[in-house]
Structure 1
Amino acid sequence: MEQIHPTRMELIRIKTQIKRAEQGKDLLRQKMDALIAEFFQIMRGVSESRKMLEKVDEAARHSLHLAHAVDDSVALKSAALATRSGILLDISGKNIMGVPVPVIEKRRFSKTTFERGYGILGVSGRIDEVADHFEAELDLIIELAETETALRRLGEEIQKNRRRVNALEQIMIPELKKQAKFIKIAIEEREREDLYRLKKMKKIIERKKVIEPEGW
């Protein structure tokens, strides 16, 4: 145990530290419970979005294979090249229980046939269907990117809070209580010694009074 001054002032100081540490632990537990509730609420939405993404991806791949098998490969490649373009996202942020998470502006990337850039005369309905499916898949991927990032950051914050609670609960508070107990025992022992010395002095004084009566 580190050097501790066994005084009443030190005992009061350590007891104050224990009280603050326990209050801090309770507040961290409350925050962690709220974060966990928010985590599972988002998790339910993510699970549904993932299932939907799997279905859309399966439909997109099926339509692509069908277009490859039936349509002219040149027309398919030309349509793919014509629709290539960058994607601009407006990203802001918000706080969930003090945790910063990204917010992507909700907008759909699905386009009409005219907006895709290829000529409608040289493209079959199957190629349009491929574009429809993959654009819908892109919408879901962007939506999932936002929610999964929020989920990951909340998970990291939950783990961080759990480590803090464990440190307070298993290390700091027990150590402070151990110090307080040590000081209390030391003070009680010192008081017993002081009381013993006082009693001894009193007996010595009384014995002197008997041996040397007043007036001698």
Structure 2
Amino acid sequence: MAVRVNPTRMELTRTKKRLQTAVRGHKLLKDKRDEMVRRFMLFVRRDKELREQIEASLSTAMGRFAVAGARMGSEAVSEALLYPAREAKVKTGQRNIMSVNVPTIEYVGAEDTADLPYGFAFTSGELDGAVLDLAALLPLLIELAEVEKTCNMLADEIEKTRRRVNALEHVMIPEMKETIRFITMKLEDNERGNLTRLMKVKEMMVADQQ
């Protein structure tokens, strides 16, 4: 590895200070990466729990829709569900996780999930159950969206931090150590050369005095 620096004591002092800063930054970045990975795994586990819960509930709801369609007819089911029961409202914001601003999505719709968009005269109980199942799923779906977005953003930041850690560990720090070694060797060579010249001058002066 070619080192192109001016081998002076000032450059040696400056490089040593840069090395200390790089080593300190490397440790901080490694700690940050490890903590982000820990939190990322928590979100991944929550994502898995939500997906399993939602898939099970969706399977039940779809089964009820199928039974309702068989009893009422698909046209009657579509007509009953033509208009929504109520408006779904969410509140969005941000929170900071290890210097990463991730979104927060909170469901703030009506707590009463008993509202149905149709009358009960010509509908089946299976349709009622399916609609209520889906209404209960809405907060979980919103939370799943928040968790998955958080996972994606943390994964991107973990990858960026990993690259910085690797660059410091395998490129910058070794280069600075090599630069320090190079400057130190050059300074020692210069000192030996100066000492040799002084000894020669002294020998010449002693020889002249004889």
| TM-score, normalization by structure 1 | 0.90
1:120 is paired with a residue whose SS is coil
1:82 is paired with a residue whose SS is coil
Unaligned runs of 5+ residues in structure 2 are none
Partner of residue 35, structure 1: 36
Partner of residue 79, structure 2: 78
CA drift at 1:86: 5.3
Of structures 1 and 2, the larger Rg is shown by: 1
Partner of residue 17, structure 2: 16
CA drift at 1:74: 3.2
CA drift at 1:85: 6.2
Q: Deviations over 1:75-114 (max 9, x none)?
A: 211111122765332111110111111111244677545x
Structure 2 distance, partners of 1:124, 1:65, is 11
Give the letter aligned to residue 69 of structure 1.
A
- Asked if the contact 1:57–1:134 (Cα under 8 Å) also holds between the matched residues in 2, the reply is yes
- Asked if the contact 1:36–1:158 (Cα under 8 Å) also holds between the matched residues in 2, the reply is yes
Partner of residue 175, structure 1: 175
1:90 is paired with a residue whose SS is strand
1:101-112 equivalence runs, <5 A: 101-107=102-108, 112=113
- Asked if the contact 1:83–1:118 (Cα under 8 Å) also holds between the matched residues in 2, the reply is no
1:131 is paired with a residue whose SS is helix
Unaligned runs of 5+ residues in structure 1 are 211-216
Check 1:17–1:170 CA distance in 2 against 1; reply closer, same or farther (3 A cut).
same
Partner of residue 152, structure 1: 152
1:104-123 equivalence runs, <5 A: 104-107=105-108, 112-113=113-114, 115-123=115-123
2:123 is paired with a residue whose SS is coil
1:1-216 equivalence runs, <5 A: 1=2, 3-83=4-84, 87-107=88-108, 112-113=113-114, 115-210=115-210
Q: Deviations over 1:24-63 (max 9, x none)?
A: 0000111111111111122221111111111011111111
Give the letter aligned to residue 124 of structure 1.
S
Check 1:110–1:124 CA distance in 2 against 1; reply closer, same or farther (3 A cut).
farther
Give the letter aligned to residue 95 of structure 1.
N
| TM-score, normalization by structure 2 | 0.92
Structure 2 distance, partners of 1:8, 1:77, is 83
Structure 2 distance, partners of 1:199, 1:144, is 80
Structure 1 distance, partners of 2:117, 2:53, is 28
Count of residues paired in the alignment = 209
**What is the percentage of aligned positions where both structures have the same residue?**
36
Q: CA RMSD in A?
A: 1.8
